[in-house]
Structure 1
Amino acid sequence: MNLNAPTFSQFDHDGLKIAFFDEGEPSGDPVLLIHGFASTATVNWVHPGWLKTLGEAGYRVIALDNRGHGASDKPRDAEAYRPWVMATDAIALLDHLGIEKAHVMGYSMGARISTFAALANPERIRSLVLGGLGIGMTDGVGDWDPIADALVADVIDDITHDRGRMFRMFAEQTKSDRDALAACIRGSRDLVERSDMGKIDIPTLIGVGTRDDIAGSPQELAALMPNARALDIPNRDHMLAVGDRVFKAAVLEFYASL
């Protein structure tokens, strides 16, 4: 087994083909990984070392390419990307693999999808790790319309919005379908009610970089939940926190404590 080059498979759900990998220790506790906006399972979880870290710790490591991303199908309708709709892809993958219950870890948009999955199917989720998204889960993370506009702009030189330019460059680097991503960002921004966060009693770890200007406070989000704790990932911004060793060590410690 080559942890650096996972083999992807596909399954059908909601009229779409969804790509995923299933690696690590086959008999280990399953961990389902849900990546962030404009990323892929490989970019979010393999390159930063999560597959290697979790696999070597004895876990079965599963990750999907969210619809609109990577090798999965890419609808152009924003309604196809509502977070509760995308959450059904994750639960359907557990069904496809015959997994009754899994640890679920999401980063950024993946954290939002994970939260909607936990609200709809709490019995399927053993624990939650929410990375790269704090109180922005309930309060919003700013105006993302300029990012959608940047993704579909004719030329990158026309983009004056700094964050829009950053995501456009990232999308080009990952050779993403920019029209699908624009639809995704317009459809996937639904917030979670603060009262609904309080209904999630699944053990939860919320990790956010101390230089992350998108996520919002992890402590404020954890305070809304009955069984959550916050982790500051030192000196990391939104893009770099995901692979940080402090984050990885905290997740392994969190899992070991359950």
Structure 2
Amino acid sequence: MRMDTFESFDGTRLALHRAGEGRPLVLLHGLFSSAEMNWIKWGHAQLLSEQGYEVLMLDFRVHGESEAPEVPEAYPQNVLVRDVAALVEHLALEDYDLGGFSLGARTSLHAVAHGVLEPARLIVGGMGTAGLGEWARRSAFFKRVIDEFENIPRGDPAYFSMQFLKSQGVNRTAARLLLDTMPDLDLAMLSNVTMPTLVVCGDEDRDNGSAEELAGLIPDATFVEVPGTHMGSVTKPDLGQAMADWLGNPA
């Protein structure tokens, strides 16, 4: 495993974790998580790299080893899409695959649907239609977690999220700015996602609505269920195995 950094479109320094050699596979993590927490810790990156991929894992701004600027100017609309585009440009990628979990899946779909990125294949993990079209509700939940951080009682539905943010050392000032940069995606735009796509989701994961319904809106999608809840599915080997099985060995 190797880690280096690069400057995004606005000079914010972002961390890039790499594993293996071979066909480029860009992976994007979930909200307030990191490449380490979603892809490295549970063995998914190792599995995919052993299959013949160079696994390229970005830490979004405000996450992991990347910078977390606290000024509003660092958070234009769809800033994470612009960060991923900056990564692809930095690496001069032309023929590559792209995958994401939760926020990473949402970001990938925005980038592809708007024609910003054109991966050969796409993996959408832990995402459903509500996560694309009802972001205001999800954003409001996390803003409450940030605003009431030290006062959320045990047993409150937000308590677990507060504990997770605390464990990840998230900069709450920067995180709150980031939450306002994510517009809803018009579901009709999913018709623009024409490459082969894997939609993979935990069988107990309802956090972002129906993943099966999402797969039905993407022209060339395959839907696969793996065990687990939203937070739990990413910790199980089944997720990485489903991705590896669908991708197959690179040509």
Instruction: With the length of structure 1 as denominator, give the TM-score of the two structures.
Output: 0.87
Contact 2:149 2:162 in 1 (8 A): no
Residue-by-residue CA offset, 1:96-135 (whole Å, 9 max, x unaligned): 1222121111110111111112124466301111111012
| Deviation of the 1:70 alpha carbon | 1.5
Identity %: 27
> Which 10-residue stretch deviates more, 62-71 or 123-132?
123-132
How far apart are residue 198 of structure 1 and its match?
Answer: 1.2
Cα deviation digits, residues 7-43 of structure 1 (max 9, x gap): 3211111221111122211xx1110011110001111
Farther-moved stretch of structure 1 (211-220 vs 178-187) = 178-187
Deviation at 1:140, TM superposition (A): 2.1
CA root-mean-square deviation: 2.3
When residues 81 and 57 of structure 1 are mapped into structure 2, their CA distance, relative to the original with a 3 A threshold, is: farther
Paired residue for 1:18? 14
Counterpart in 2 of 1:248?
Answer: 240
Higher relative contact order (CA 8 A, sep 6+): 2
The equivalent residue for 1:32 is 26
Q: Secondary structure at the match of 1:155?
A: helix
TM-score (norm 2): 0.89
Which residue of 1 is the match for residue 172 of structure 2? 178
Q: How many residue pairs are counted as aligned between the two chains?
A: 247
- Structure 1: distance between partners of 2:14 and 2:92: 16
Alpha carbons of structure 1 residues 194 and 79: separation in structure 2 relative to 1, 3 Å = farther
Q: What's the offset of the Cα at 1:143?
A: 4.2
Runs of 4+ in 1 over 6 A off after TM superposition: none
Moved more, 117-126 or 84-93: 117-126
What residue in structure 1 maps to residue 147 of structure 2?
Answer: 152
Matches of 1:60 and 1:257 in 2, distance apart?
Answer: 12
The one-letter code sitting in structure 1 at the alignment partner of 2:145 is A
Amino acid aligned to 1:206: V
Structure 1 residue 157 displacement after superposition: 4.3
Partner of 1:202: 195
- 1:243: Cα distance to partner? 3.3
Contact 1:78–1:187 at 8 Å: present in 2 too? no
2:215 aligns with 222
> Could you say which residue in structure 1 is the equivalent of 2:49?
55
Q: Distance in 2 between matches of 1:136 and 1:79?
A: 27
C-alpha distance in 2, partners of 1:73/1:123?
23
Is the Cα contact below 8 Å between 1:38 and 1:167 reproduced in 2? no
Identify if the C-alpha distance between structure 1 residues 53 and 154 changes in structure 2 by more than 3 Å, giving closer, same or farther.
closer
Residues 37-60 of structure 1 show CA distances to partners (whole Å, capped at 9, x for unaligned) of 000111111012111111111110
* 1:188-221 CA distance string (max 9 Å, x none): 2x22112100111011111111211312112111
Structure 2 equivalent of residue 3 of structure 1:
none
Which residue in the other structure is 1:129 paired with? 123
Inter-partner Cα distance in structure 2 for 1:182 and 1:85: 13
Return the offset for 1:146.
Answer: 3.3
Contact 2:52 2:249 in 1 (8 A): no
Equivalent-residue separation in structure 1 for 2:221 and 2:234 (angstroms)? 19
Distance 2:80 2:4 in 1: 18
Gaps spanning 5+ residues in structure 2: where? none
Q: How do residues 62-101 of structure 1 correspond to structure 2 at under 5 angstroms?
A: 62-76=56-70, 77=72, 80=75, 82=77, 84-101=78-95
1:110 maps to 104
CA contact (8 A) 2:79 2:181 kept: no
Say which is worse superposed, 30-39 or 216-225, in terms of deviation.
216-225
In 2 relative to 1, CA 159–185 (structure 1 residues): closer, same or farther, beyond 3 Å?
Answer: farther
